[in-house]
Amino acid sequence: MAKTSKVILQISKILNTGLSGQNVVREMSQILQECIPCHRLSLGLHILDRWYFYQNDELRMLRPFLTVSPQHMTQSASHDAFALSQPIKRDNISEDQRYIHDKKLIAEGMRSDLIVPIILDNHYVAGTLNFTDTKPHQYTQEHLNTVLSLIDIVAVVIKHLYSQYEMQALHEIISVVQTSHKLEDTLDLILEHIRGQGYDRVRIYLYDESDHALVGTRQVGSDPIASFRGEKVSISTDSHSQKIFSTQKAQIYQRRNTHSAFRDQLQDVLGTSDYEWAELPLINNGIVGKISLDNAPHKFPLDPLRIDRLMIYASQAALAIHHAQLHQTLNEYLSQQHPGRYTTLDVANILNLSENAVRLLARTKNVGTRMGRSWTFTPEDVRQMKNRKPRGRPRKDEV
């Protein structure tokens, strides 16, 4: 008991050192290896249909170690421990060989393992903590009890890791506001970051003021809705949209006893009457649109606490989208006012540069016509810039 308390204290101190999430996991793994004998310690996180593993000192962030599809849900002992929320202790993997992945373990010389599920907030199973060794019968009931007494502090570390990842993603979304990305690029970045939080499908609707409606604009994920793009949802007749805009909060909706245009679209795709999805308002001095997400293809439940945290993304996403829309409108205006001339965005696409790099090149070469922060360019200006591009040209995504 004293040894367990000491380990918990050591891991707790790591969280207060200011280390990055991966370094915290690395330090924690070293402490755990001193407590529980093992040839290999792995931390497996299950996100959608993939496993992401952190092994010993070679921690690899978000690189798939084992893909688990719906047709192969029993490929590994890790997945069974995860799916059943129960620890698994095996004395001899060579004799057991229940799982396809066991062949790989045996080939690597592994003979025994101890796998314990990691549960966050008393209900959300995030993954597993795996101890594997080359000796058979390595793990006893005492070892299992020790790991069970430590699993709560491991869960705290995982939440710390998630928080850092969320902050990193949020920072990238915020950076979009400070650059001149195209609207499509902005939407793609927002969608991918939110899906990266662990959701099957994410969609963005943009607001059409003329019709007081939401228009399906972009989506990512498995089993996309074929009729989504361009589909209009009238806010005046959609109770779900009305609720998120009036409360300015995220909402989780269920199929039972509800009615909306989105429900009918989703049912057509899934052929089922049992599902749930979440909607988040995009508001920036007025309605910008909404984000809709679900785990319907794999039927993983939505966590209300995690959905609420996504509102931080939604507020920044609304600002980024509004910024991109204004930029797009300005470029369209300049194109109309100056026919035959190129905007900064046009030249950026032609030269494969960022817009900031185009402005810098224009000032350096004394070409183009400046109107505040905006520029227009003649074909001759573009030709000169193309012949005199700087070495090591910046990428489009550079700030």
Residue for token digits 């790991």? 147
Q: Are residues 252 and 345 in the same domain?
A: no
CATH number for 261: 3.30.450.40
Residue 116 domain-assigned (yes or no): yes
Residue 168 domain-assigned (yes or no): no
Q: Are 322 and 333 in contact (CB under 8 A)?
A: no
Residue 397 domain-assigned (yes or no): no
Q: Are residues 50 and 195 in the same domain?
A: no
Q: Residue 115 phi/psi, 5° resolution?
A: -125, 125
Question: Which pLDDT value is given to residue 99?
Answer: 86
Q: Are residues 322 and 342 in the same domain?
A: no
Residue 191 domain-assigned (yes or no): yes
50 three-class SS? strand
Collect contacts of 133-137 with beta carbons under 8 A, ≥24 apart.
Answer: 133/37, 133/38, 133/39, 133/40, 134/39, 134/109, 134/110, 135/111, 136/91, 136/92, 136/94, 136/111, 136/112, 137/91, 137/92, 137/112
Residue 213 domain-assigned (yes or no): yes
Q: Domain containing 92: what range?
A: 2-161
Residue for token digits 């972009």? 218
Last residue of a domain, one of 161, 194, 213: 161
pTM of the full structure? 0.58
Q: Which are the contacts of 23, defined by CB distance < 8 A and separation ≥ 6? A: none
Give the total residue count for the chain.
399
Closest CA to 126 of 149, 143, 151, 145: 151
Residue 174 domain-assigned (yes or no): no
Q: Which helix (H) or strand (E) holds 334?
A: helix 311-337
Question: Which pLDDT value is given to residue 18?
Answer: 74
Q: Are 60 and 53 in contact (CB under 8 A)?
A: yes
Number of domains the chain is built from: 3
Question: Which pLDDT value is given to residue 245?
Answer: 96
Q: Are 115 and 87 in contact (CB under 8 A)?
A: yes
Question: Which pLDDT value is given to residue 217?
Answer: 94
Q: Are residues 100 and 144 in the same domain?
A: yes
Q: pLDDT below 50 — which residues of the chain?
A: 57-73, 257-259, 269-272, 392-399
Q: Are residues 315 and 347 in the same domain?
A: no
CATH number for 347: 1.10.10
Q: Are residues 50 and 86 in the same domain?
A: yes
Give 152's DSSP letter: H
Can you point out the beta strands (E) in the chain? Answer: 40-47, 50-55, 58-67, 88-90, 112-120, 124-133, 201-208, 213-221, 232-234, 251-254, 276-283, 287-294, 342-343, 369-371, 374-377
Q: Are residues 286 and 357 in the same domain?
A: no
Q: Are residues 13 and 152 in the same domain?
A: yes
Question: Which pLDDT value is given to residue 67?
Answer: 44
Q: Are 128 and 85 in contact (CB under 8 A)?
A: no
At 28, which amino acid appears? Answer: M
Last residue of a domain, one of 130, 161, 192: 161
Q: Are residues 218 and 322 in the same domain?
A: yes
Residue 171 domain-assigned (yes or no): no
Q: Residue 274 phi/psi, 5° resolution?
A: -125, 100
Q: Are residues 41 and 155 in the same domain?
A: yes
345 three-class SS? helix
Q: Are residues 8 and 154 in the same domain?
A: yes
Q: Are residues 240 and 149 in the same domain?
A: no
Last residue of a domain, one of 161, 189, 211: 161
Residue 250 domain-assigned (yes or no): yes
Alpha-carbon distance of 55 to 50, in angstroms, equals 16
Q: Are 141 and 106 in contact (CB under 8 A)?
A: no
Question: Which pLDDT value is given to residue 73?
Answer: 42
Strand 88-90 versus strand 369-371 pairing type: unpaired
Alpha-carbon distance of 209 to 207, in angstroms, equals 6
